[in-house]
Structure 1
């Protein structure tokens, strides 16, 4: 029997993740069965279970994929010299959120994962690890901003990073719960607060 290429395996895995994301956005995490995802992906049960054994594995992979995009943007911005201002970095992240809200709606999955993390220790540990990576980048952003004089030398980078991270989560919640939040209005408010 011929060996399946790594590219084929990666493409099939992505096919499943895309199908799961569509189902979770459309029906919610709890209202989506594994059978729904298998049908959406157009695969046999055996082919599907070769890649994922549970909805938690699917949600873990989707969340990891989305957070990797966010951390990649932050890492790129942190390498710039001079580093953009903290509000400019925040605005770039909010643009990603807006894109995800419009393109495929996967930002809605984030809120579902947060809710699931409260009740499921496995998901909770995953969320803490994944979102901890983003908060770590936010702390590094504050440290770099401190080095360049954007924030006072006696400010606590960990506290600023936590607040920065909270601003991103707050924007996500407002996008999902209130609808189309004006990013510029939000950023004007942030600038006024930190002004």
Structure 2
């Protein structure tokens, strides 16, 4: 029975997070009220508060769920026969296939960083996690000889994270925006950053 209760609790929390994500995407973090989230989840306030006491806790739950999925994808890179193909597929899943509502919530949390210390701390933890995983993937590529020996991996990671934030902002701002070609641009720039020491300089190109 305790195991069943645990599964049911997990399912309830997941349903609430799904409802909260839709509300945050539709109304924004401040615009979405707890009563709106209750209605979206089909739950009474008393029942919902048993799982989440605040909107900040819901944002944290959404981030933790996303990071767990991301961690699984990054871990798979370590054993992928073709790391760059796997890396490209992972980036496509998170930056192109990711539902627009999820991108909207991500951007919403960015806007809260300057005025909500709890969200700021969560975003810092999230950024550190992503930074660690991206850097780890690039170190694997470097160990396999798939980057220049002295490529600046840290600089490349910073570029990817900044580019990804901008890509998600464009998706939220413009429904007609197609992120796929821009993902290709990101990988082209990454290739230059990671392989430049191995490529001929412009002075040698005639």
2:111 counterpart of 1:106: no
**1:158 alignment partner, SS class:** helix
1:96 is displaced (CA, Å) by 2.8
Alignment of 1:31-180 (within 5 A): 31-84=31-84, 89-101=87-99, 105-180=101-176
1:191 is displaced (CA, Å) by 4.2
Distance 1:9 1:187, change over 3 A: closer
Does the CA contact (< 8 Å) of 1:101 and 1:107 recur in 2?
yes
Distance 1:79 1:162, change over 3 A: farther
Aligned to 1:23: 23
Does the CA contact (< 8 Å) of 1:117 and 1:124 recur in 2?
yes
- Distance (whole Å) between structure 2 residues aligned to residue 169 and residue 64 of structure 1: 18
**2:43 alignment partner, SS class:** coil
**1:140 alignment partner, SS class:** helix
Could you list the structure 1 runs, at least 4 aligned residues long, displaced by more than 6 angstroms after superposition: none
- Distance (whole Å) between structure 2 residues aligned to residue 9 and residue 192 of structure 1: 45
Task: Could you tell me which runs of 5 or more consecutive residues in structure 1 were left unpaired when the two chains were aligned.
Answer: none
Distance 1:90 1:118, change over 3 A: farther
- Structure of higher CA gyration radius: 2
Give the root-mean-square deviation of aligned CA atoms: 2.1
- Distance (whole Å) between structure 2 residues aligned to residue 20 and residue 178 of structure 1: 22
- TM-score (ref. length: structure 2): 0.82
**2:84 alignment partner, SS class:** coil
Does the CA contact (< 8 Å) of 2:71 and 2:133 recur in 1?
yes
Task: Could you tell me which runs of 5 or more consecutive residues in structure 2 were left unpaired when the two chains were aligned.
Answer: 193-206
Does the CA contact (< 8 Å) of 1:140 and 1:157 recur in 2?
no
The number of residue pairs the alignment matches comes to 190
